[in-house]
Amino acid sequence: MKLLTCLIVFLGLSTTSNLLAQNGLTNMEEALANPEDVYYIDVESLPEEYRTQLHKFKNLKSLRIWEMYLKEIPKGVFELSNLEVLRIYNSSIKELPKEIDQLQKLQRLELNSNNLRTLPKEIGNLKELTYLNLSNNKLSSIPEEFGELSKLETLFLGKNKLKTLPKAFGQLKNLRALYLGQGSIEVFPEAICELSSLEELYLSGSSIEELPEEFGQLQNLEKLYLHRSTNLVKLPESIGNLKSLEELNLYKAKIQRLPSSIGQLQKLEKLELAFNEIAFLPQEFTKLSNLKELNLLENKLTVLPDAIGDLKSLKVLKLSNNQFKKLPKSMSKLTMLKKIELQHNKISRGAVNKLKKALPNTKVIFYNS
């Protein structure tokens, strides 16, 4: 019997015949002739007569449907006991049926860009799930059973109507990446602080005003994105406990001051602080020995720490649109620096020329309007 491994149907595209020929299939009719030999289905549109026959693909491992007007998940999907990947996005699905827990082998579930308003408690029974994308829906709550997804590693919940997260959320001990950006959360959910394996946290565009002191418990966090969080005015002192942090993005927040503990972030390589309200930097800031990129564009700075030259790993430094009148002498020690931006400050051209002479391999960008 001829092995049929994959069916890809892009309706209305000229490449259809070539894509299908590589897999020995031309259409759904041919696939249904030997459904037990089909392992992957990827369709742009699925007419009703085929939706009712999906249950016949007993060995199907991956199903992707990207149909704009699909309002519900075809019932036959829940009979596909070998399914490992289910992707139905950019559709109009309003409900995730409780039968979702029949897919016990499911590892990856993508239902982003639909109209989901609630989740069934049965979602917690998907014990093999490692990747879940529910972003860009209309979810206003998450069931407590969500915390039972013990193998979950990557979770997208951004662009929803969530105000908070359940306490059981902290039970997701294998979660490594959490995307909560552009949502409705106003108070930082403390359950996040219990996610001991978390490496990446995306909270861009949030409405939170502060992070709790417990935030410092995230010892494995490597990337923290809080850009465009326009209500965020400060960071907790415990931020210095994030010993694994490599990248911190606070672009267009409302940060007024940095805690002195920031100097403890010895693995920090990239720090984005543009468009904040920072008036001074603590002396401890100069202990960031591994920092490679620093953006302080559009703040309220008048001076830099005298020991700024101790940032020996620095390669890119952006200082434009502040109120600097002079530069510390120690800047001549920044020999790794490839580019420095100094536009729109009150620094004399003589001081700039002196810096250029001290750092001949550095591109110095300077002009004042």
Residue 17 has pLDDT above 80, yes or no: no
Token pair for residue 227? 């850009």
Give the CA radius of gyration of the chain.
26
For Cα atoms 183, 187, 188, give the angle at the middle one, nearest 5 degrees: 85
CATH number of 94-198: 3.80.10.10
Amino acid letter, residue 114:
N
Nearest to 355 by CA among 343, 368, 345, 342: 342
C-alpha distances (whole Å) from 81 to each of 61, 102, 105, 258 are 9, 7, 7, 52
Strand partners for 294: 271, 317
Token pair for residue 340? 């420095």
Q: What is the pTM of this model?
A: 0.92
The span from the CA of 149 to the CA of 127, in Å, is: 6
Mean pLDDT of 43-55: 90
Dihedral sign computed on CA atoms, order 186, 122, 134, 235: positive
The span from the CA of 116 to the CA of 73, in Å, is: 12
In the chain, what are the domain boundaries? Answer: 1-90, 94-198
With beta carbons less than 8 A apart as the criterion, state whether 141 and 160 touch: no
Token pair for residue 34? 């030997």
Q: For 250-272, write each residue's pLDDT tens digit.
A: 999 999 999 999 999 999 999 99
| Size of the chain in residues | 369
Mean pLDDT of 227-243: 96
Strand partners for 88: 65
The confidence score (pLDDT) of residue 21 equals 36
Which one-letter DSSP state was computed for residue 33?
Answer: H
More confident residue, 8 or 350: 350
Q: For 135-169, write each residue's pLDDT tens digit.
A: 999 999 999 999 999 999 999 999 999 999 999 99
Lowest model confidence (mean pLDDT) among 1-10, 41-50, 63-72, 232-241: 1-10
Amino acid letter, residue 199:
E
With beta carbons less than 8 A apart as the criterion, state whether 74 and 53 touch: no
With beta carbons less than 8 A apart as the criterion, state whether 96 and 116 touch: yes
The span from the CA of 184 to the CA of 194, in Å, is: 21
DSSP H or E segment with residue 363: strand 363-365
Nearest to 215 by CA among 230, 205, 231, 232: 232
Q: For 80-123, write each residue's pLDDT tens digit.
A: 999 999 999 999 999 999 999 999 999 999 999 999 999 999 99
The span from the CA of 272 to the CA of 248, in Å, is: 6
The span from the CA of 198 to the CA of 154, in Å, is: 9
Place of tokens 């108070």: 187
Amino acid letter, residue 173:
K
Residue 1 has pLDDT above 80, yes or no: no
Q: For 165-183, write each residue's pLDDT tens digit.
A: 999 999 999 999 999 999 8
